Amino acid sequence: MATKLVPKELMKRPERLAPGHRLCAGCGASIIVRQMMAAIDGPVVLANATGCLEVATTIYPYTAWRVPWIHNAFENAASTISGVEAAYRSLVRQGKMEEQNVKFIAFGGDGGTYDIGIQALSGAAERGHQFLYVCYDNGAYMNTGIQRSSATPLGANTTTSPAGKAIPGKQQNRKDLTAIMAAHNIPYVAQASPSRWRDLMEKTRKAVNCGGAAFINVLSSCNRGWRHAADETIEITQLGVDTCYWPLYEVENGEWRLTYKPKEKPPVEEWLERQGRFRHLFRPENRHIIDQFQEEVDLRWERLLRLCGEA
């Protein structure tokens, strides 16, 4: 019987990510991993793309993982976990291993997912492997020095889209990878946030039990790259949800459904002004970029409402 998703019961579960890792205080990735691992009953095997989560949890000769875990290259976490999944199912079919209802999961940041890893992810999804790929989206290549990725929001100041006289931060809107994965017509796709922990846990359970490939994109604040205090992670990720920069929804067997609709939709500048990476946008000469940002957020939100039958 599945553990009830209530704090009293969840706190009894053993941690699958041990304390003592080197992730920054307030890092969204560790919060996300702990929430998702607590939601899963039974054995788990993990693959991890190169990135903050991999580097900071496995500094030789130590590991923070209390489950079978494998790291391969930056670009092929999805290939690795699909190979492990295929091998396991082959061994079960041959009678060489007992069926244990193992869940196969890959974690990657936005750099290793939106950019470097999308080919392997797309291929594994198209082949129909039974696994869950989780992108912890912090909006840049944070591990290697806060370089822009295709997940970086418009106007963000990064080391490769520096705000200055030449350009006012990143000049393009972020890629909508969740919609791209939904277009693969896999059984389950969702967008989530650690600030809505029960929503994230429920989506995790649906994903690992959907009978095929699944993808969850989770907003993962990086206080080093976003430039905010370490104790503001949950508050700022929730503000991203409320402003509809990061709406929460799921696509289950082709059916789109909102899982959270804010009672009031604050202007996106309330989210932007809490982060130092957008400080330059509030100068008079750059205010038009905030307007562009809001226009894109509204456009995507209205499109999502129509897809979910909420318009």
Evaluate if residue 285 carries a pLDDT over 80. yes
pLDDT confidence tier of residue 2, bands split at 50, 70 and 90:
confident
- Region 14-307: CATH code: 3.40.50.970
Whether residue 162 is predicted with pLDDT greater than 80 in this model: the reply is yes
Which residue, 135, 129, 133, is CA-closest to 83? Answer: 129
Q: Residue 265: is it exposed, middle or buried by C-beta count within 10 angstroms (0-12/13-18/19+)?
A: middle
Q: How confident is the model at residue 61 (pLDDT cuts 50, 70, 90)?
A: very high
- Whether 42 shows a pLDDT value over 90: the answer reads yes
Mean pLDDT confidence for 78-83: 98
Average pLDDT over residues 33-49: 97
149: CB partners within 8 A, 6+ apart = 110, 111, 114, 115, 139, 140, 141
pLDDT tens track for 196-240: 999 999 999 999 999 999 999 999 999 999 999 999 999 999 999
- Asked if residue 311 has pLDDT above 90, the reply is no
**Residue 36 clears pLDDT 80, i.e. is over it:** yes
**Over 80: is that where the pLDDT of 23 sits?**
yes
In the prediction, which pLDDT does 105 show? 98
Print the SS3 string covering 36-65.
Answer: HHHHCCCCEEEEECCCHHHHHHCCCCCCCE
Our CA angle for 174, 26, 289, nearest 5°, is 30
SS3 of 151, please? coil
- 81, 75, 120, 124: which is closest to 102 by C-alpha? 81
Q: Does 3 have pLDDT greater than 90?
A: no
Q: Where does residue 134 rank: exposed (0-12), middle (13-18), buried (19+ CB within 10 A)?
A: buried
Domain ranges in the chain are 14-307
The gap between the terminal CA atoms of the chain, to the nearest Å, is 38
Tell me if residue 87 falls in helix, strand or coil. helix
Q: What are phi and psi of 141, to 5 degrees?
A: -85, 80
pLDDT digits over 121-149, tens only?
999 999 999 999 999 999 999 999 999 99
**292-297 contacts: CB < 8 A, separation 24 or more?**
292/154, 292/155, 293/153, 293/154, 293/155, 293/268, 293/269, 294/267, 294/268, 294/269, 296/154, 296/173, 297/243, 297/244, 297/245, 297/268
